[in-house]
Amino acid sequence: MAADAIMAGGQKNSRCSSDAVGPLVMAVTPPILRVCGVTVRFGGIVALDAVDFDVPAASVFGMIGPNGAGKTTMFNCISRLYAYQSGDIIFEGASITATPTHRIAGLGLGRTFQNLAMFKTMSVRQNVMVGGHTRSRAGFLASALRLAGVAAEERRLRERADDVLDFLELGTVADRPVGDLPFATQKRVELARALACEPRLLMLDEPAAGLNHEELGALARLIRDIRDRLGVTVLLVEHHMGLVMDVSDRIVVLNFGRKIAEGAPQEIQRNATVIQAYLGTPARARAA
């Protein structure tokens, strides 16, 4: 029932042009997100080097790589927290390169962060409602003056928040201050806040950090539910390889800012370049 309620509620790169993708492919399975030749430099350091990948709609797409590979930099580019020197990012067929950061959530992109950033003294419900405000139709002035329609808008946001809390099984702690809750529950509240903005693409930045084995199993089931029951595409950055391989439909691997592999989990597990990037030795040498 909660899932049904939730559902109701730089330079251009030639790879991103409509001519670069066959019309048949675009008509059948257009990706929800296209990253096209994105390059990021911090001074003399190349953090991302012409990275390309497509994220299929209604899938779980994993992004992995050793520390310093450029994963969080890529997330921040998609969120428009970072600018990129060249390339383009296409969301649902339109470039977001010139989109200001404060407009990204309204487009349908939600995300979590490695470090929790919530209002610890506010209740769980209030924190989740903050996420819903990105979809609010009432402006700042109307809300401040409590003009007509504001009360109805607040009711809608509260109902939306309660639907999300039910879906994530957080209803019993809805009125408790977030700061009083265990770490794993706080992580789930952060996820609820991201879902409250009604994203079509949900970006999860290391959601398994700090979780135990039992909590990891619950997280895996939850990620699948978000894809299967809500129809939301998930872009997952995670160091826990067991979780990534378990839930991902497809995976891209970065190393030193470059894409070194892309494919199904089984392909990635057998890829010699990926093994070398993680372990520092060629696969043949390990076998010997």
User: For the segment 67-119, what is each residue's pLDDT rounded down to a tens digit?
Assistant: 999 999 999 999 999 999 999 999 999 999 999 998 999 899 999 988 787 88
Average pLDDT rounded to a whole number, residues 125-149: 66
Q: What percent of the chain has pLDDT over 70?
A: 81
If you write DSSP's letter for every residue of 150-197 in order, what string do you get?
HHHHHHHHHHHHHHHHHHTT-GGGTTSBGGGS-HHHHHHHHHHHHHHT
Please name which of 247, 218, 246 lies closest in space to residue 235, comparing C-alpha atoms. 247
Residue 23 has pLDDT above 50, yes or no: no
For 223-234, the pLDDT digits (tens) are: 999 999 999 999
Specify the range with the lowest mean pLDDT, choosing from 19-28, 40-49, 207-216.
Answer: 19-28
Q: How far apart are CA 53 and CA 263, in angstroms?
A: 10
Helix and strand element counts for the chain (H, E): 13, 10
User: Looking at domain 10-108+199-288, which of 3.30.70.980, 3.40.50.80, 3.40.50.300, 3.30.420.40 is its CATH number?
Assistant: 3.40.50.300
* pTM for this entry: 0.85
Q: Which residue has the higher pLDDT, 129 or 18?
A: 129
Which tokens is 28 given?
């059948």
The pLDDT confidence band at residue 153, using thresholds 50, 70 and 90, is confident
pLDDT for the residue 205? 94
Per the DSSP assignment, residues forming a β-bridge with 261 are: 253
Q: Mean pLDDT of all residues in the chain?
A: 86
The answer to whether the CB of 51 falls within 8 A of the CB of 38 is yes
79 CB-near residues (< 8 Å, 6+ apart) = 101, 104, 109, 111, 203
Residue 158, SS3 per DSSP: helix
Which tokens is 243 given?
């979780």
Domain ranges of the chain: 10-108+199-288, 120-197
Residue 204 has pLDDT above 70, yes or no: yes
